[in-house]
Amino acid sequence: MNEFWGWGEREGERRRRVLWAWCGRRSKNPRSGDGGSTLPTPLALRHPPPLGLCHLLSRYLDKHISITMVIVRSMLLRSMRAHYSLGRRFVSNDGYDHAITELNKEMESIFGEAPSSGAFTLSASKEPQLGSPSVKSQPKLTHVDSSGQATMVDISSKEDTKRVAIANCRVLLGPKVFNLVSSNQIAKGDVLNVAKIAGINGAKQTSSLIPLCHNISLTHIRVDLTLNKEEFSVEIEGEATTTGKTGVEMEALTAVAVAGLTVYDMCKAASKDICITEVQLKHKSGGKSGEWSRKQ
């Protein structure tokens, strides 16, 4: 053990007796056989070897030496210059309790007071409830009832307001088909005009195509198709307007989707690589949710 601490035999014997006395234990002197006299701790013990002290404390406190090393190092860093009163340098009958008390005080001075036993207990009242406002405010599917079945939303209690929706999509033609469309050489005829009429008809048939959509009285439908030479594509924009109890987003989306499908149908003989992409809502206004625009 002396080699483990880095002490000589004589120095190890002296320091071991000193450390035992410091820890509150009675040491039996193996050389003198004095029967375990109480030993005072000299002033030199203010700088005891941490590893040796850890070893003794680990045995005395029944803790693993690595855990005790952490505790003792923290104590030594803060109490290196501390002077103990004479009464604290002698062993007493309550030495064990005194050592534990000193350790607790030192840990509190380093880490603060220990939390109460219920500090980390989650109160049952704080657990989220199904009927709490935070849960109610979460988005939910309006076309699904409480049992999970599809249903049409009842809008009879809503007020009539003006509602507008604008949607767009893009049809990627490729250079070959784009040149045929721009020069009006497609065998089926004028692609852009036919697709425009198809888009308007599609908007009017939205409630028939989409099962849970309401049959809305549309006041205006606009479908525009523009050739984009840089990307060899057709840019389609559709707008639907009504004054009613529900929005016209689906009507605008259906208009551009049907117009895009019509472009594909009229050009598919020239190429199968045509792609309909970016069918999306661009803007809407009116109703409870107010105005919304897609961020660029």
Segment 26-40, tens digit of pLDDT: 444 444 444 444 444
Q: Where are the domains of the chain?
A: 2-111, 161-293
Q: Residue 101's pLDDT is what?
A: 75
Q: Which two tokens mark 85?
A: 């009163």
Alpha-helical runs (H) found in 61-128: 65-79, 95-111
| 281: nearest Cα among 237, 218, 244, 231 | 237
Q: Which of 259, 258, 250, 235 is nearest to 281 (CA)?
A: 250
Hey, is 10 helix, strand or coil? helix
Whether residue 157 is predicted with pLDDT greater than 70 in this model: the reply is yes
Q: How far apart are CA 170 and CA 257, in angstroms?
A: 9
**pLDDT tens digits, residue range 69-79?**
555 555 555 55
- Quick one: pLDDT at residue 40? 42
Given a cut of 60, whether residue 296 has pLDDT beyond it is yes
Least confident of 14-28, 145-159, 254-268, 273-287: 14-28
Side-chain half-sphere exposure of 170, counting CA atoms within 13 A = 10
Is residue 34 part of the annotated active site? The answer reads no
Q: Which two tokens stand for residue 234?
A: 């057709």
What distance in Å separates the CA atoms of residue 159 and residue 173, rounded to the nearest whole number?
44
- The verdict on pTM exceeding 0.75 is no
Does residue 219 register a pLDDT over 50? yes
The answer to whether 262 and 246 have CB atoms below 8 angstroms apart is no
| pLDDT value at residue 27 | 40
Rounded Cα gap, residues 178 and 173, in angstroms: 6
7-32 pLDDT, tens digit each: 556 665 665 565 555 544 444 444 44
- 242: which residues sit within 8 A by CB, 6+ positions away? 162, 163, 216, 217, 218, 219, 248, 251
Q: Is the pLDDT assigned to residue 114 strictly greater than 80?
A: no
pLDDT, residue 67, reads 53
Minimal CA–CA distance to 71: which of 55, 84, 87?
A: 55
Separation between Cα atoms, residue 27 and residue 42, nearest integer Å: 15
Does the pLDDT value for residue 42 go beyond 50?
no
Query: Of the listed 160, 190, 265, 273, which one is catalytic?
Result: 265
Helices (H) and strands (E) in the chain, counts: 10, 5
CATH superfamily assigned to domain 161-293: Molybdopterin cofactor biosynthesis C (MoaC) domain (3.30.70.640)
CA distances in angstroms from 182 to 26, 175, 192, 267, listed in the order given: 105, 10, 9, 12
E runs forming strands in the chain? 161-172, 218-228, 233-244, 275-285, 292-293
Amino acid identity, position 247: G
The 3-state DSSP class for residue 144 equals strand
- pLDDT higher than threshold 90 for residue 224: yes
Distance CA 37, CA 25 (A): 10
For 95-107, write each residue's pLDDT tens digit. 656 767 776 776 6
Of the candidate ranges 81-95, 174-188, 206-220, the one whose mean pLDDT is the lowest? 81-95
